[in-house]
Every structure is written in C-alpha cells, then in structure tokens.
Amino acid sequence: MVIEKQGQVKTGVLAKAKLSRRDFLGWIIQFGLFTTLAGMIAPALTYLWPVTRRGPAGGLSDVCAEDDILVWGGKKIILAGSAILVIRTPQGFKAYSAICTHLGCLVEWDGKKREIICPCHAGLFDLDGKVVAGPPPRPLPSYEVSVVNGRVMVKV
C-alpha cells in the first residue's frame, strides 16, 4: 500500500507483499513439477512395497473333485478373496498362496520341474513353498487341505 501525503511517499507492508507476475509463474511451475514427481514416485513406491495382506479367514471350501487334478498337476483358484495354488503329489494334495511374497505377482506351478515359479522376478519355491532362488523374502503361506468324499477341500 502506498500512501501519499503532501508529496511524501510511504510504503506499507501490503506494497512489499505484492506478488509479481514472474514470481507467480515460478510458483505455478514449481507446483506442476512437484505434482508430476509425486505422480511418478507414488506408483513406483506402491509397486516396490511388498505384499503382506492375506484374504479373510473362513472354513473349509470345496475346490474340485479329486480326479480333476492329475498327479504332479496344479490348479489355481480364488477362495475368500485369496489366490490359492493347489498341487497334487503322489502323497496327497498341498495348497499354497498363489501370491508371491516378494511383490505380489501370481505364481505358477511347473509340474515337469516340480517347483513353483514367480514369472515376474525369477523367484523359485520348492514343493514345500520354501524359497529356493530369487528375491522373495519368505516362503509361501500354506493352507490345510483334506479330501472328503472324493472332493478336495481347502481351509482358508
């Protein structure tokens, strides 16, 4: 604010707070750069954050008939909001979470090599769900499996 009194010019606090066009454009550019960086960094951090959630708990769920899965075969299913990999061995059935403990990719069963493979980052798990190679930090969570009247049941 400029006050003129009998030829004297006094500057007030408001006159110093006036924002120039150059400063205004500088703030707009800085805000745009910050928004762009945040938009690039946030998805990258969520991608790198390890997946640790499990689906909701429940009781026994019917998966399929016992004969639907061949020996050394596998089947991927969704139960109670969780992806589960059911594997049949000559000794019986095993079930593990089909979500890799590294970054949450879906794992695949390789019946020829008899191992669980994470295709995203070359993670390998053995028949017991333990980490054999790659970046996964811990084994796959396992589920209880039982066969009742020729039906495969998984407890989630």
DSSP assignment string, 63-81: EEEGGGS-TT-EEEEEETT
Question: Residues 31, 85: one domain?
Answer: no
Q: Does residue 55 lie in a domain region?
A: no
Question: Residues 73, 12: one domain?
Answer: no
Residue 22: domain span: 2-48
Question: Residues 145, 72: one domain?
Answer: yes
Please tell me the total count of domains within the chain. 2
Q: Does residue 82 lie in a domain region?
A: yes
**Which carries the bigger pLDDT value, residue 1 or residue 44?**
44
Amino acid at 41: I
Question: Residues 75, 126: one domain?
Answer: yes
**pTM for the predicted model, two decimal places:** 0.61
pLDDT over 90 (residue 69): no
Q: Does residue 54 lie in a domain region?
A: no
**Which carries the bigger pLDDT value, residue 51 or residue 119?**
119
pLDDT over 60 (residue 139): yes
SS3 content of the chain, % helix, strand, coil (to 5): 20, 40, 40
Instruction: Quick: pLDDT tens for 2-54.
Output: 555 555 555 555 556 688 889 999 999 999 999 999 998 888 887 777 655 55
Query: Which pLDDT score is estimated for 37?
Result: 92
Counts of helices then strands in the chain (DSSP H, E)? 2, 12
* Contact call for residues 129 and 140 (beta carbons, < 8 A): yes
Q: In the structure encoding, which two tokens stand for residue 32, read together?
A: 């745009």
What is d(CA 61, CA 18) in angstroms, rounded to the nearest whole number?
Answer: 69
Question: Residues 66, 140: one domain?
Answer: yes
Query: Which pLDDT score is estimated for 156?
Result: 77
Longest dimension (CA), the chain: 106
**β-strand partners of 99:** 106
Query: Which pLDDT score is estimated for 12?
Result: 52
Residue with tokens 């020829």: 112
